[in-house]
Amino acid sequence: MQDPNEDTEWNDILRDFGILPLKVEPKDETEEMVLRLQKEAEVKPYESMTLNELKEAEDEFDEEDMKAVEKYRQQRLQEWKSLQKRQKYGELREISGDQYIKEVTNAPKNVWVIIHLYRSSIPMCVLVNQYLNLLARKFPETKFVKAIVNSCIQNYHDRCLPTIFVYKNGQIKGRLIGVTECGGANLKLEELEWKLAESGAIKTDLEENPKKDIINIMISSIRSTSVHDDTNSTGSNTDETKCFLSRMF
């Protein structure tokens, strides 16, 4: 029997008269696979849309697309809620002493709270407030508040200001009391950020202590000017020096 797919002049004539069916071209499986993969790799239009845009474009999708759209909408909504949860603060808020327990001690579970007790007449307090305002924007998942010290603690000494407390779950996790512990009169933003990060209240992108070089210089200076006869005593004093400097910086 003659093969109807055979390429002959006679078969071509028979096809023209409709006696033989049109020749069936063999499928190129490789080409089909490439086309299928390309289709699967196509980015659906709804994947680049906002939630509002998805709602406006609902009439343009078929039933299959609508199922995918709804799934994608829920995913975007969860991402948005997660972002809102992480970024629900983002500013340095003023509170009064009456609000201390509610806003600080009883803050939501697992939320870090940084509170600055200050007096506006003290330049260092003004500087710290400026820096905390910037850090609050950078770390919106952490709660930053400030309070005039007299509204929280009566007869608090000026030498103890600025005072910064770090709270989590009602417990004090860190504290910086006075100009020296806060970083000195020449405090820089990055230095305060590092100090707060050491307590765990913020996750800094700084790779090392901005005052590392200064600390090393001071340790070297103290070592070079100290004369000790006892080697063990030298080691002990070196440890005490590091401890003292860590409190300062």
The answer on pLDDT for 176 being more than 70 is yes
What values do phi and psi take at 176, rounded to 5? -130, 115
DSSP 173-208: EEEEEHHHHHT-TT--HHHHHHHHHHHTSS-----S
For residue 12, give both structure tokens.
């071509």
List the domains of the chain with CATH numbers. 93-213 (3.40.30.10)
**Please, how many CA atoms are within 13 Å of residue 190, restricted to the half-sphere of its CB?**
8
What mean pLDDT comes out for the span 3-7? 63
pLDDT, greater one: 241 or 191: 191
pLDDT in tens, 41-57: 554 555 556 667 666 66
Residue 100 in tokens: 């201390």
Most confident of 21-35, 64-78, 185-199: 185-199
Which tokens hold the place of 226? 């100290």
The answer to pTM > 0.85 is no
pLDDT tens-digit readout, 117-154: 999 999 999 999 999 999 999 999 999 999 999 999 99
